[in-house]
Amino acid sequence: MVYHSSFVNEDGVSRACGCPLLPLKSHIKGPAPVSDQDRTDIVDEAITFFRANVFFRNFDIKSPADKLLIYLTFYINVALKRLEGCRTLAEGTKAIINLGLEKVPVPGESGFPFPGLFPLPQSHKEAELFRNYLKQIREETSGRLLSVAYRPNGTPNKWWLAFAKRKFMNIIIP
Amino acid sequence: MGAYRADDDYDYLFKVVLIGDSGVGKSNLLSRFTKNEFSLESKSTIGVEFATRSIHVDDKIVKAQIWDTAGQERYRAITSAYYRGAVGALLVYDVTRHVTFENVERWLKELRDHTDANIVIMLVGNKADLRHLRAVATNDAKAFAERENTFFMETSALESLNVDNAFTEVLTQIYRVVSRKTLEIGDDPAALPKGQTINVGSRDDVSAVKKSGCCSA
């Protein structure tokens, strides 16, 4: 049984492409509301659940937040592949920063990994809102992933980097 | 006789970031300090680069891990990861372009948003060799640095003027901050460090060679 997001109640949460723009504990600029530092956010859930959820080929969606969890689980998988072979935190940081420079596709664009998971944007404005949210949440996820993938002394944590070899839901990563 | 030490051995590893507008010479400052190289070709940095160089402070080996990134917004990514763990910063402007000095305030704000309050900041006026093109008076920059509580130096990466001095000063000051913290904690073992502790390397950072002990001559 996959782990699901606890963000089921979406009262007052904005949406883009059918996805709730959930709050983040983040100082990174973007459209996400700011969450209290002492609360768990969707990024915490994605990282906590990653090493269990990555094994599943099917993911039954119970709430729209699960869609975001799927996206982040995939993103963490991509990020770990970039960190594979980076023997120090410095090299890992460089790789993750370069990943952050790449184009972030939204539903309907080539390169978006889950066609059909999210409704297509109804306007250019909605597309850009979702893109900016994804950029923000990817950056926040990357920062926290570096904290778990490398030990405080800068050496790789093999229990995390080993998951670079997994394929989430059999999606081939280019 | 001093004990033999492996080439990559060090006592402290300090992360230092270079920031400032595009074209002020950040990348050339990095290459001048770490490789003693200068390139007249002005190519924009895309993404991030880092390089290292070790220096001696007192009787310690301090390894500087210096990070360079794009000044242009469209080539910048994951700002937070770039700043994470930095204990020093060189905030660079170009003495021949006043707008780069005007933007220092914005860079300083970004730096302070993302780093520890104890970070050592050096304001650097680069391209000081272009005397006939100077647009930022030394005294104006010095006054700004005093107001903002940062160090200040003018450099020329082209002429290799003050480049080593700027980096060495930052590294020395970081070392002083770290040493002072160690003493403060040492005086009162029960006291917890206030605020966020700068992680400048735990015992684990010491290389395997040092762990196994070194031969003495």
In a domain, A7, yes or no: no
The answer to whether residues A111 and B46 touch, using CB atoms and an 8 Å cutoff, is no
Q: Which residue of B has its CA nearest to A138?
A: B78
Say how many domains are in chain A.
1
Give percent of chain A with pLDDT exceeding 90. 44
How close B80 comes to chain A (CA, Å)?
Answer: 7
In a domain, B215, yes or no: no
In a domain, B202, yes or no: no
In a domain, B154, yes or no: yes
In a domain, A13, yes or no: no
The amino acid present at B158, given as its one-letter code, is: L
In a domain, A169, yes or no: no
A153-173 residue pLDDT tens: 889 999 999 888 888 777 666
B166-213 residue pLDDT tens: 999 999 999 999 888 877 766 554 444 444 445 554 444 444 333 334
Say how many domains are in chain B.
1
Q: What domain range is A93 assigned to?
A: 23-162
What average pLDDT does the segment B149-157 reach?
96
Q: What domain range is B25 assigned to?
A: 10-183
Q: In the prediction, which pLDDT does B78 show?
A: 66
| A-to-B residue pairs, Cβ atoms closer than 8 angstroms | 62
Q: Which residue of A has its CA nearest to B86?
A: A90
- CATH number of the domain where residue A134 is located: 1.10.1760.10
Give percent of chain B with pLDDT exceeding 70. 78
Look-up of token digits 């763990």: B85
A128-153 residue pLDDT tens: 999 999 999 999 999 899 999 998 88
A-chain residues near B79 (CB < 8 A): 28, 139
Residue among B81, B51, B76, B73 at smallest CA distance from B64: B51
In a domain, A168, yes or no: no
Sign of CA dihedral B70, B71, B73, B74: negative
Q: Is B206 on the interface with A (CB under 8 A)?
A: no
In a domain, A121, yes or no: yes
Query: Does residue A169 or residue B10 have the better pLDDT?
Result: B10
Structure tokens at B195: 């605020």
- CATH number of the domain where residue B176 is located: 3.40.50.300
Give percent of chain B with pLDDT exceeding 90. 61
Q: Do B77 and A101 touch (CB under 8 A)?
A: yes
